[in-house]
Amino acid sequence: MVLVLTPSSSSSSVCLLRRSPPRYGAVRCSSSVQEIQKPPGEGLSSDLRASEPLPPLKVAKRVVLVRHGQSTWNAEGRIQGSSNFSVLTKKGESQAETSRQMLIDDNFDACFASPLERSKRTAEIIWGGRKESIIPEYELREIDLYSFQGLLKNEGKERYGSAYRQWQLDAANFIIDGHYPVRELWERARNCWTKILAHDSRSVLVVAHNAVNQALVATAIGLGVEYFRCLLQSNCGVSVLDFIPRPEGGSPDICLDRLNQTPGSPVAGGKSGGRDTNKRIILVCNGSTQGNTENSFPFAGDQPMNMLGVIQSQKSAELLLDLKVSSIISSPNKACFETAMTISKVQEAADCLGADCVPRYVELKQIGNLDVETIFQQSKMDLSNFPPIQPGWLNRIDDGLRTTLWDQSGKAWQSLLDEISDESSEGVLVAVAHPAIHIALMGHCLNLTKEWLGSFHLDEGSVSVLDFPDGPKGRGVIRCINYTAHLGRWSIPITRSTEDGEEF
């Protein structure tokens, strides 16, 4: 193995190693349900507008969203919408059973479900023998697609031509039978949140559908209709939202703890937003470090990984073995680089491990702009009494520090886009850094601003996947956020204890 290191003192430098065999912020909304005045294909907007406030809370709530398992019409490639003619396939029932096992030890207080049969049956399997009855909620039905419903996708293209094309490319402005389905869905999702949050419970399971779950996630964190198909929801994928009451009252603070944790691997094949993709960025958070303790703020200097971190990095490397990674870009921090090296070594041993018939060659780089430790260590903010990482913690750091983090991550994001824009690249790029940097990178992917930093959460050792079906210059699709199931016994529980006196 030959390592060639090109050092530089610049924080924005790239070191190439070639190897051979807020306090929580206010709820915002990026658009209203007014017509989106922009041509199809244009980038996402992140203009801040106050969204309709959600009801105030007295205690924290965690809501777990699950999409139904594969249905007969999913398998046929038929447009379902809010019709009720399809049922779960055997694969769909198996997916629901896997989700039941994933959530079996979680202490849910209530379960809301769409009354459509495919969702209703999924909820029954997951809910199992719990004594509380499932609450049917008609507003949780799938998006109303009117004349499209029941058509095979190729039939929709043949019969409706330009309308079907608009549905695919400009869904926010798609109109059929005098209706704007996506805008109607966003309004309905807001109404659902009012009902769900008003229920006397602290941990809630919601079982529904692809589009409506996208709308629930988006409206909760304040994203408009132009984000339809940007937040993937796979069959039986699990998404988690935390709702935290404010001391002064008013609409709660909201954090997306994870998105689309699926029964199967998140890096396996599949479409993003209904389209194939050949460009992908995988964000891997470094493993736990020697300076980390359960109750400390995780910036104790540039520390190597502890034993838990070593295990986390090995588990991430095993997960990524199913992909042929073209390059790895790492923060220069010790724990990040150790994680990157572990992934690289496993990739290059793919033939020995039976994952490939030939050795893989991985390009490993370091980028100074992925270094978050320096930002926090050089900050004038007193971090000695800062609490450990919790949902929304990035909105509790001071504005100057948040601005520095956002600006530096923007430069790192451009470096990642440049990397996958290279025509010689095979399309899969892995970036290894601290959770804070990766949260900011996801914000840049969605064309948001620093005010959204507290709207996402990542754990050490987690994996998040960003796809680019329209190429690096097109909008990104978030395939999953904060996936931790690959960590096995060290994975982060989907829900946390909701015993009296305990916070999430």
Pairing relationship of beta strands 327-330 and 477-483 according to DSSP bridges: unpaired
* 339 has a pLDDT exceeding 60: yes
Strands 477-483 and 363-367, bridge-based pairing: unpaired
pLDDT tens digits, one per residue of 115-165: 999 999 999 999 998 999 999 999 999 999 999 999 999 999 999 999 999
> 3-class DSSP state for residue 162?
helix
- Cα–Cα distance between 276 and 273 in angstroms, integer? 8
Q: Do 349 and 1 touch, CB atoms closer than 8 A?
A: no
Q: For residue 346, what pLDDT is reported?
A: 94
pLDDT tens digit string along 225-251?
999 999 999 999 999 999 999 888 888
- Tens digit of each residue's pLDDT (9 = 90 or more) over 181-237: 999 999 999 999 999 999 999 999 999 999 999 999 999 999 999 999 999 999 999
- Asked whether residue 495 carries a pLDDT value surpassing 90, the answer given is no
DSSP state of 69: P
Q: How far is Cα of residue 232 from the mean position of the Cα atoms in its chain?
A: 8
- CB distance 281 to 420 below 8 Å: yes
Please report which confidence band the pLDDT of residue 383 belongs to, taking 50, 70 and 90 as the band edges. low
The Cα–Cα gap between 270 and 92 comes to 16
86 neighbors 279 (Cβ within 8 angstroms):
no
Is the torsion defined by CA of 344, 347, 348, 352 positive or negative?
positive
Active-site residue flag, 438 = no
Closest by CA to 458, choosing from 434, 477, 476, 475, is 434
Give me the count of residues in the chain.
Answer: 504
B/e letters for 289-319, b = 16+ CB within 10 Å, e = fewer, are bebbeeeebbbeebbebbebbbbbbbbbbbb
Confidence grade of residue 301 (pLDDT, cut at 50, 70, 90): low
Q: Is the pLDDT of residue 504 over 90?
A: no
Residue 10 has pLDDT above 70, yes or no: no
Structure tokens given for 141? 């039905």
CATH level 2 (architecture), domain 279-490: 3-Layer(aba) Sandwich (3.40)
Q: Which of 35, 42, 52, 68 is catalytic?
A: 68
- Please check whether residue 234 is in contact with residue 260, taking contact to mean a CB–CB distance below 8 angstroms: yes
Catalogue the long-range contacts made by 126-133 (C-beta closer than 8 Å, 24 or more residues apart): 126/66, 126/96, 126/99, 126/100, 126/205, 126/207, 127/205, 128/100, 128/104
Pairing state between β 327-330 and 363-367? parallel
Looking at residue 492, what DSSP letter applies? P
Given the residues 137, 139, 142, 226, select the one marked as catalytic.
142
- Burial code of 15-39, b = ≥16 C-beta within 10 A, e = fewer? bbbebeebebbbbbbbbebeebeee
Angle at 388 between CA 382 and CA 390, to 5 degrees: 120
State both tokens at 394.
């990035």
Superfamily holding 61-261: Phosphoglycerate mutase-like (3.40.50.1240)
The answer to whether residues 140 and 192 touch, using CB atoms and an 8 Å cutoff, is: yes
Give the pLDDT band (50/70/90) at residue 13.
very low
Would residue 348 show up in a list of annotated catalytic residues for this protein?
A: no
Exposed/middle/buried for 55, CB within 10 Å: 0-12, 13-18, 19+?
Answer: middle
Cα separation values, 147 from 80, 170, 177, Å: 11, 18, 7
Q: Which residues belong to the annotated binding site for substrate? A: 67-74, 118, 153
pLDDT score at 22: 33
Predicted confidence at residue 379, as pLDDT, reads: 74
- β 363-367/463-467 pair status: unpaired
Instruction: Look at residue 18 and tell me whether its pLDDT is greater than 50.
Output: no
pLDDT at 374: 82
**80, 119, 258 from 83: Cα distances, Å:** 6, 12, 29
Going through 68-168 in order, the beta strands assigned E by DSSP cover: 110-113, 135-136
Instruction: Determine the straight-line distance between the first and last CA of the chain, rounded to whole angstroms.
Output: 46
- Tell me 206's DSSP state: E
- At residue 30, the pLDDT reads 46
- Greatest Cα pair distance, the chain, in angstroms, is 64
**Nearest residue to 216 (alpha-carbon basis) of 187, 236, 258:** 187
Quick one: tokens of 382?
A: 């007193």
Q: How far apart are CA 222 and CA 190, in angstroms?
A: 10
Where is pLDDT greater, at 294 or 269? 269
| Residue ranges matching CATH 3.40.50.1240 in the chain | 61-261, 279-490
Q: Which residue has the tokens 């779960």?
A: 88
Nearest partner of 209 among 175, 234, 188, judged by Cα: 234
| 352 Cβ neighbours under 8 A, 6+ residues apart | none
Average pLDDT, whole number, for the chain?
85
pLDDT digits (tens, 9 = 90+) for 400-456: 899 999 999 999 999 999 999 987 666 699 999 999 999 999 999 999 999 999 999
- Within 13 Å and on the Cβ side, how many CA atoms surround 263? 21
**Alpha carbon distance 365, 325 (integer Å):** 13
